[in-house]
């Protein structure tokens, strides 16, 4: 029950963040643009660290397609995932006992 509530709060925060990122920045802001706004060297540092640890293939096939998506898509995806985990971790409900006669 506690785990479900944690995931519910996490989902709510992420969904509100996704909505704010959808409304506040200029239209068409990609995740790469958002990283550049956050820190001027952030995209270059990310590329350098991913290529040195995971390789160029992972950078080209995994990270580049994600970085061209809108900035709000990552928190939206994580929020929906957290909402699903919250629903999955709910304890099972007890079925009401039948008191009627069986015919």
Looking at residue 91, what is its pLDDT?
A: 80
Q: In the chain, what percentage of residues exceed pLDDT 70?
A: 91
Looking at residue 90, what is its pLDDT?
A: 86
Question: For residues 28 and 96, which has the higher predicted lDDT (pLDDT)?
Answer: 28
pLDDT of 99 higher than 70: no
Mean pLDDT, residues 12-38: 92
List the end-to-end C-alpha distance of the chain, in Å, as a whole number: 38
pLDDT of 13 higher than 90: yes
| Alpha helices, H only, the chain | 2-23, 31-38, 42-53, 56-58, 64-67, 73-88
Q: Which residues, 6+ apart, have CB-to-CB distance to 23 below 8 Å?
A: none
pTM of the model: 0.74
């Amino acid at each position: 029950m506690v785990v479900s509530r944690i995931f519910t709060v996490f989902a709510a925060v992420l969904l509100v963040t996704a909505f704010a990122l959808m409304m506040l920045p200029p239209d068409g802001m990609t995740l790469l643009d958002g990283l550049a706004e956050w820190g001027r060297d952030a995209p270059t540092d990310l590329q350098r660290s991913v290529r040195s640890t995971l390789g160029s293939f992972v950078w080209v096939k995994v990270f580049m397609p994600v970085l061209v998506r809108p900035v709000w898509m990552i928190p939206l995806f994580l929020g929906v995932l957290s909402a699903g985990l919250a629903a999955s971790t709910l304890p099972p409900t007890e079925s009401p006992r039948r008191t009627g006669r069986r015919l």
